[in-house]
Structure 1
Amino acid sequence: MIESAATEQDCAFRTAGRERWKPTDFDGLMLLARPRDPHEPWRPSEKEADENRPKS
């Protein structure tokens, strides 16, 4: 739920439930992070994959 609030963005995020999205501050911008399914295997991001790729 998004509601009015005295914040930099003039709003606040609220979530409920077990598998809820998590409001995350990213340099002053509030983003909603989706929780990872615990049964889903971990996969590196493209940036992590590129950083760990052997140099030729």
Structure 2
Amino acid sequence: MSDLKKEGLKNEIAGKAKQVKGTLTDDDGKKIEGKAQESAGKAQQDVDEATKKKD
């Protein structure tokens, strides 16, 4: 597993955790921040996959 994919998974999981925390604490800002981090993690994984297909 590449470093980019690992980082993407880490960001995706951390983002989901932030969303849950935001839901539990009724913090809309934390939910938005979590969604953005989750999306960034998915994008990192997509870039990793695209790079592998290119090679």
TM-score greater than 0.5 by the shorter chain: no
The structure in which a higher percent of residues are strand is 1
Greater relative contact order (CA < 8 Å, ≥ 6 in sequence): 2
The structure in which a higher percent of residues are helix is 2
* CA radius of gyration, larger in: 1
When normalised by structure 2's length, the TM-score is 0.28
